[in-house]
Chain A
Amino acid sequence: MEMLYHQFKRRVFGMAHRIVGPNDAEEVAQEVFVRVFRGLANFRGDSALSTWVYRLTVNCSLSHLAKRGRRQEVGDETLADVPAAPAISRDPGLAARIERALQELPPGYRAILVLHDVEGLSHEECAAILECRVGTCKSQLHKARARMRELLGPIGGTPT
């Protein structure tokens, strides 16, 4: 059981952190692991174990957000003094700005961006986790990135 925890703890915590925000990430990740361990006996093997664990993570995170019923506020100190968006080629604050913009996205867009772009899962894996078609997954990713670009403004300088 502990091996399973150590195998998935980073990704589960990372996903929860980026979907629900830093304040509730640990609580959600704990809930995910409790559900995993208690439901392991009933795991039917219809999908890969990792897909099942990530699906639980996304579902727990989204339902946590729904229960909380408010937009995630970016309140932690590390992001408070993020500079406004200067269009420079090497943006030192880009990571923090991206984290902040992620928290302003609708939860569904946030989930697909975290799964595909941050965690590097394939469209097929994302579709299995989100229980949707691959085409839907791709279109959601496109919309999510477009929304992110609106929130971030120009990034990465100008093309040469």
Chain B
Amino acid sequence: MTCQDVRPHLTAYLDGELADDRGSAVRGHLRGCEACRTAAHHEAALRDGLRALPQLDAPFEMWAGVQRQLAAAEVADAEKPHWRHVVSRFAQAWFSPRFAVASAALAVVVCVWAWRFTHQHPVTVAEAPQVAAAPVRPAPKPAGEAPTAPGPDGDVAAEIASLPKQTSDAYAEATVELVKLAGDARTQWSADRQQQFDAKLGELQHDVTTAREGRLRQKAHRSLIRYLQRVTTRDEVAFADTRGTP
């Protein structure tokens, strides 16, 4: 054992807190090392000096001072408006351990829900609804399958989980309507324009079907809808222009 090994344990050794073998090792080192022996001697003298410090008596008038302060605090309490009492009671409850645990549990539940809301499982292309087709409705259950009866918590969770899907379905319905309108307008267009429109429409529909369910698919839907709105609106404006021109 070197001095560097011994010095950190001197305090514990002097206080009798080292286990037998370690205490014996420290004692053995102290027998042969004068520097450590001196350090131990000084520390023991310091410890004894600290233990021998006299007990201090509290001043006699301190109790009167405590009583004065307590009386002043009670008067201040009486003058405090009622709402501050209510706030302080609420604050006490807020900072109680039980309330803190309940708050932490609630925070975890909210985080899990938020995570599930924003990170849906990816939907494969084959499962993705076709934009031009009729909007996807929940498929009826096979006759043989027993209906499930989720509890109230299950209902809420399922509802939250199905929100992105519902939004996508609403977009899909809007898209179908707009494609119909654009299809009516398309008949009036030149072959080049029709070709451009078909290509762009195909590209945007492909984006929609390949995008992951959730925010990405909704974004693709919005791009498609914006394009269709532009196309149909431009056509109406052009039509109005041609009618308005003398």
Contact = CB atoms under 8 A, between A and B. Distances in A.
Interface residues of B, number: 36
Nearest to A153: B42
B11 A30 contact: no
Interface of B, helix, strand, loop or mixed by DSSP:
helix
Interface stretch (A57-65, A69-77, A113-121): A113-121
B44 to A, nearest CB: 7
Given A158-B41, A159-B37, A148 B55 contact: no
A73 to B, nearest CB: 19
Contacts of B87: none
B44 A156 contact: yes
Given A26-B65, A138-B11, A155-B42, A13 B53 contact: no
B232 to A, nearest CB: 70
Contact of A141 (B11, B42, B56, B65): B11
23 contacts: A9-B58, A9-B62, A10-B55, A34-B69, A38-B70, A38-B73, A94-B45, A95-B49, A117-B50, A118-B50, A138-B17, A141-B11, A142-B12, A145-B43, A145-B47, A148-B46, A154-B38, A155-B45, A156-B44, A156-B45, A156-B46, A157-B41, A159-B37
Interface of B: 8, 10-12, 17, 37-59, 62-63, 65-66, 69-70, 73, 92
A142 to B, nearest CB: 4
Interface in A118-159: 118, 120, 123, 138, 141-142, 145, 148-149, 152, 154-159
A55 interface: no
Contacts of A5: 63, 66
Given A95-B49, A141-B11, A152-B46, A13 B62 contact: yes
A2 interface: yes
B47 A117 contact: yes
